[in-house]
Chain A
Amino acid sequence: MKDFFKNLPEQAVRVVVLFLILAVGLLAIRQFIIPPEMKDPVIQKISSTQREAAKGIKYAGAEICAQCHEKEPEIKKTGYHRDLACESCHGAAQKHADNPTDVKPESPRKRDYCVYCHQYNSSRPTGFPQINQETHNPRQPCINCHNPHNPKPPTTPRSCNACHAQIERAKAVSYHALIDCTVCHTAPEKHKSSPRTVIPTKPDKREFCGKCHDKGSPKKGVPTVDMAAHGEKYVCWQCHYPHTLGGI
């Protein structure tokens, strides 16, 4: 045996040693550098599944909301929105659940959110409450009349609207849409039974309109005019019709 090794030519020994180094190197690469996921599909599947499972959530789920917010779920329980998840309207709230004081979820307060579901669309199932946003109290935020946690048709009697529908419709698209009839008019109860003999009031002073429209009024976005220099002795509505768009 010793003779065999002695008789081996040196070149052969070198080749064998080189081969051995290569083999050990390859083995080491396979053992330590190639991750186990790449060697076994089963391990790959498990680690990939685990990575998927470890992803963070953004929507916390309604049960977590109810742990702190006691009032809203209680109101919601009996209404038409009882099965609606909080986050359907308020948006992803996991961050809020993690940090309730600093991160607040959004609350859609304008008309443009409710119509995602409630705008009339021919393809929607019959019986689902839908409105035409162009004619249904334009400009009014939905929450003025409907409580989003317990929505139902508003119960306020349409006492003025019943007879004065034309004014109501005109007003609904005017700048005064958000102002109730009773802000400017006081209607005695008897006006309903004998409308022509008992008449509601109209603003009889220029200062009434001046509360919003006088120069220096605190209301923002309202056109103002210097009441002292404008319109002399006339009451505003003698020239400006307050129910129509533009009011002139």
Chain B
Amino acid sequence: MERRDFLKHLCWVISSGGIMSGLTADAWAAILNKDYDTTKHYYGMGIDIDKCIGCGRCMQACKTENAVPAAPFYFRTWVERYVIKTDRTVSVNTLNMESVAKPDVLPEKEVLRSFFVPKLCNQCDHPPCVQVCPVGATFKTDDGVILVDSKRCIGCRYCIQACPYGARYLHPETRVADKCTFCYHRLVKGLLPVCVEVCPQQARVFGDMKSIASPLGRFTRMNKIHVLKPSLNTDPKVYYANLDGEVN
């Protein structure tokens, strides 16, 4: 190769590289998002405490769908059993898949109230986990879901510490933070999150807050809505109906 040709080639390579990097973020978005417009949705979930029967089907289905480790301390969604005794002591236990089907009768006279509370990532509008991430691996999508970039995450666990709802865990195999994504891969295909799909009681309601006609819109209109830890101003997008004051 002659010196002249070499220089010509070099010029060509450098200029094409310039064009590549000159692609704007919008152009990239157009390339990557073909059939799904993230800006047209804003997702939330409603949970009716009075309907939950604590059968654990949501936990089971979530683990299957999202390849969450089977060990009983890794959850993207879980169900807590609250038992409030007449002496005002409160015990909270996460449902154990093995014991769900076992007979469980509490002494009637000692118990004031008892119920199940399904929990998951609250997909906060002001997420503390996003604030603390030192590498920007966790972020909020345009449709309001908090995701973790598993390629960028360095597994430092700041977000796990920062989450006031304990919704995150460190995946034992990938060693990166993992959490509920509202089954984002299902949403983009027009399916419901799997916990909503399998809930036998329709205790979980899923919907788009940009659409008035969505089931979630009706749910929030028809019920008195509470969120978890409202004082933290995280603005959760998981809305609870018939939530007991003891739940936090």
Interface residues of A (CB under 8 A from B): 27-28, 31-32, 36-37, 39-59, 61-62, 81, 83-85, 87-88, 91-92, 112, 115-117, 119-125, 128, 132-134
B197 & A116 in contact (Cβ 8 Å cutoff): no
A81 to B200 Cα, complex, angstroms: 8
B77 in the interface (beta carbon within 8 A): no
The verdict on A46 contacting B53 (CB below 8 Å), with A59-B61, A61-B191 known, is no
A30–chain B nearest beta-carbon distance, Å: 8
| Measured CA separation A54–B29 after assembly (Å) | 15
Q: Chain A residues with Cβ under 8 A from B116's Cβ?
A: 123-124
Measured in the bound complex, the distance between the Cα atoms of B191 and A125 in whole Å is 28
Chain B residue at smallest Cβ distance from A59 = B194
Interchain residue pairs with CB less than 8 A apart (13):
A32-B17, A36-B23, A45-B139, A53-B184, A55-B185, A57-B185, A88-B200, A116-B56, A117-B200, A121-B103, A121-B104, A123-B104, A123-B114
B149 & A44 in contact (Cβ 8 Å cutoff): yes
B40 at the interface (CB under 8 A from A): no
CB contact between A46 and one of B25, B51, B64, B199 (< 8 Å): that residue = B25
| A133 to B, closest residue via Cβ | B103
The residues of A that contact B29 with a CB separation of less than 8 Å are 42, 46
Neighbouring A residues of B141 by C-beta, 8 Å: 45, 49
The proximity string for B residues 3-19 relative to A, scoring 1 for CB distances below 8 Å and 0 otherwise, is 00000000000100110
Instruction: Tell me if B65 and A59 are in contact (CB < 8 A).
Output: yes
- With A42-B25, A116-B56 known, 5 other A-B pairs at CB within 8 A are A52-B184, A54-B185, A55-B184, A121-B105, A133-B101
Chain B residues with Cβ below 8 Å from A28 are 17
Is B90 on the interface with A (CB-CB < 8 A)?
Answer: no
| B212 CB-CB contact with A under 8 Å | no
* B221 beta carbon closer than 8 Å to chain A: no
Structural contact, A50 and B32, CB atoms closer than 8 A: yes
A56 to B198, CA, bound (A): 18
- In the complex, the answer to whether B189 meets A57 with C-beta atoms within 8 Å is yes
Q: Is B181 an interface residue (CB 8 A)?
A: yes
- Bound complex: CA A27 to CA B25 (Å): 20
Instruction: Determine whether B157 belongs to the interface, using a CB cutoff of 8 Å to chain A.
Output: no
- Report the bound CA distance from A245 to B195 in whole Å: 42
A58 contacts across to B, CB distance below 8 A: 64-65, 194
Interface status of B226 (Cβ within 8 A of chain A): no
Complex alpha-carbon distance, A120 and B181, angstroms = 33
- A48–B139 touching, CB < 8 Å: yes
Determine the distance from Cα of A19 to Cα of B28 in the docked complex, in whole angstroms: 33
- Distance between Cα atoms of A191 and B170 in the complex (Å): 69
Report if A119-B103 is in contact (Cβ < 8 Å); known contacts: A44-B136, A53-B188.
yes
Interface string of B116-158 (1 = CB under 8 A from A): 1000000000000000000010010100000101111000000
* In contact, A31 and B194 (Cβ under 8 angstroms): no
Contacts of A56 in B (CB 8 A): 185
Of all chain B residues, which has the CB nearest A43? B28
Of the listed residues A37, A59, A92, A115, the one surrounded by the most CB atoms of chain B closer than 10 A to its CB is: A59
State which of A92, A124, A128 has its C-beta within 8 Å of the C-beta of B64.
Answer: A92
B28 and A36: CB pair below 8 A?
yes
Contacts of A37 in B (CB 8 A): 151-152
Report the separation of the CA atoms of residues A53 and B83 in the bound assembly, to the nearest whole angstrom: 39
Contact of A88 among B57, B82, B103, B136 (CB under 8 A): B57
Residues of B near A27 (CB, < 8 A) are: 14
Closest to B21 in A: A31
Q: Is B51 within 8 A of A125, CB to CB?
A: yes
- Bound-complex Cα distance A47 to B147 (A): 12
Per-residue A-contact encoding for B159-198, CB less than 8 Å = 1, 0 else: 0000000000000000000000100111011011010011
Which residues does chain A contribute within 8 Å of B201, judged by CB atoms? 128
Do B32 and A116 touch (CB < 8 A)? Answer: no
Q: A47-B32, A59-B64, A62-B197 are in contact. Are A122 and B111 (CB under 8 A)?
A: yes
A59 to B199, CA, bound (A): 13
Instruction: Determine if A123 and B194 form an interchain contact, defined as CB atoms under 8 angstroms apart.
Output: no
Residues of A within 8 A of B104 (CB): 119-123
